[in-house]
């Protein structure tokens, strides 16, 4: 079964064709990063306008790059939640129009479910049940994946997500948007042990995270350093911050795995591209003899192949959206 996936939840306009949820036939994306750079973050109105300009071209590219037409497609899967509402509506309405015109089934896909599904595309043997850590710009969850379409939230952030913290910290150091990846890059030449950052604990919620205090602690440290000297150790700050966040994310994730007796661990979402987090998880999982999966870098951040992959399993479980279905800026992964 060949599914056309469409993703427009934030600032990437993406389309892909995936066979039986596992094999990528095409995967196209137009990034808007250069349009948002001047604002230091994603400007929702600009994102919606760019999606309108790009959506037809990107779907065409996805079809052309594998020499397909819509006649070769069996269903359309589209992200409908969570995300920027204006952005989501462009993808959803485009998918609805296509589904109506071509008489193709329409499947709505939760963005976080699709981030987890990115791992199915490169690891044919990976099957639920397993424990997943999803870390992106807006979300930070530990999820028990009991089947392809059943999810239980084990832990989540009480405030910001790790990606948001990476982006704001990067901006405070004068790095351009998108900050997370640039922070990761410059941290390579820094000393990760030079500064110590806190790993906040939440009473009676051992698997929950909090990043807002960690972020503030960083800003205070930076401003104290600026008061003493103009020579700011940017690389050391970046390395120490990346190391602390990777350690914090990993420690809670491994505690949840131990307590819930999971030995298959999966990471996904934009922040799973972070070199410290990948290395730390890999090392700890090897020590404990756990199986560990992470998507390749190109599938960590938003893409449409993961939407088509999850769309396949949603289709098998009976998910069919009607033409009056809506987009939602927020909805739990458990509800879908």
- Residue numbers at the binding site for ligand KG4 (CB under 6 A): 10, 136-138, 163, 166-167, 178-181, 184, 269-271, 273-274, 301-302
User: Of 98 and 277, which CB lies nearer to ligand KG4 in the complex structure?
Assistant: 277
User: Of 88 and 273, which CB lies nearer to ligand KG4 in the complex structure?
Assistant: 273
Cβ 12 to ligand KG4 shortest distance, Å: 7
Beta bridge partners of 3: 18, 75
- The answer for residues whose C-beta is within 8 angstroms of residue 75's C-beta and 6 or more apart is 1, 3, 4, 104, 105, 106, 107, 311, 315
Cβ 64 to ligand KG4 shortest distance, Å: 25
Cβ 204 to ligand KG4 shortest distance, Å: 28
Cβ 187 to ligand KG4 shortest distance, Å: 9
Cβ 197 to ligand KG4 shortest distance, Å: 15
Cβ 134 to ligand KG4 shortest distance, Å: 8
User: Of 26 and 303, which CB lies nearer to ligand KG4 in the complex structure?
Assistant: 303
* C-beta of residue 180 within 8 angstroms of C-beta of residue 163: yes
Element (H, E) at 152: strand 150-156
User: Of 110 and 262, which CB lies nearer to ligand KG4 in the complex structure?
Assistant: 110
User: Of 149 and 182, which CB lies nearer to ligand KG4 in the complex structure?
Assistant: 182
Backbone angles phi, psi at 108, to 5 degrees: -95, 140
**What distances in angstroms separate CA 217 from CA 88, 161, 195, one per listed residue?**
34, 16, 11
Q: Label the pairing between strands 130-135 and 106-110.
A: unpaired
Nearest residue to ligand KG4, by Cβ distance, number only? 270
**CA-atom Rg of the chain in angstroms:** 20
DSSP annotation of 201: -
User: Of 75 and 167, which CB lies nearer to ligand KG4 in the complex structure?
Assistant: 167
User: Of 148 and 177, which CB lies nearer to ligand KG4 in the complex structure?
Assistant: 177
To 5 degrees, how large is the angle CA 24–CA 334–CA 74? 35
Cβ 105 to ligand KG4 shortest distance, Å: 25
Cβ 213 to ligand KG4 shortest distance, Å: 18
The whole-angstrom separation of Cα 120 and Cα 5 is 15
User: Of 5 and 138, which CB lies nearer to ligand KG4 in the complex structure?
Assistant: 138
Residue of 222, 177, 218 whose CA lies nearest to 197 = 218
Q: How many H-runs (helices) and E-runs (strands) does the chain carry?
A: 11, 10
The whole-angstrom separation of Cα 38 and Cα 34 is 8
- Residues written for the chain: 336
């Amino acid at each position: 079964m060949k599914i056309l996936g469409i993703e427009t939840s934030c600032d990437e306009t993406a389309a892909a064709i995936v066979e039986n949820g596992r094999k990528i036939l095409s995967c196209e994306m137009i990034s808007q990063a250069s349009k948002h750079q001047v604002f230091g973050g994603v400007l929702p109105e600009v994102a919606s306008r760019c999606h309108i300009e790009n959506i037809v071209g990107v779907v065409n590219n996805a079809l052309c790059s594998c020499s397909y037409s819509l006649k070769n497609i069996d269903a359309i899967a589209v992200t409908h939640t969570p995300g920027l509402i204006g952005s989501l509506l462009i993808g959803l309405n485009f998918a609805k129009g296509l589904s109506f015109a071509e008489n193709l089934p329409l499947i709505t896909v939760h963005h976080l479910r699709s981030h987890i599904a990115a791992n199915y595309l490169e690891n044919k043997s990976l099957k639920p049940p397993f424990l997943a850590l999803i870390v992106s710009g807006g979300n930070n969850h530990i999820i028990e994946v009991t089947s392809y379409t059943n999810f239980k939230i084990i832990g989540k952030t009480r405030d910001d997500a790790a990606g948001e913290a990476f982006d704001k910290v990067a901006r405070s150091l004068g790095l351009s948007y998108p900050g997370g990846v640039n922070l990761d890059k410059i941290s390579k030449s820094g000393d990760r042990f030079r500064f110590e950052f806190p790993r906040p604990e939440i009473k009676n919620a051992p698997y929950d995270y909090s990043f807002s205090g960690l972020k503030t602690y960083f800003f205070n440290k930076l401003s104290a350093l600026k008061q003493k000297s103009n020579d700011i150790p940017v690389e050391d700050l970046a390395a120490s911050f990346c190391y602390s966040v990777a350690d914090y994310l990993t420690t809670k994730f491994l505690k949840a795995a131990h307590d819930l007796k999971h030995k298959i661990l999966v990471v996904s979402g934009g922040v799973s591209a972070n070199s410290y987090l990948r290395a730390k998880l890999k090392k700890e999982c090897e020590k404990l003899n756990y199986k560990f999966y992470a998507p390749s870098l190109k599938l960590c951040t938003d893409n449409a192949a993961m939407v088509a992959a999850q769309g396949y399993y949603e289709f098998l479980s009976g998910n069919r959206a009607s033409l009056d279905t809506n987009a939602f800026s927020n909805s739990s992964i458990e509800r879908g």
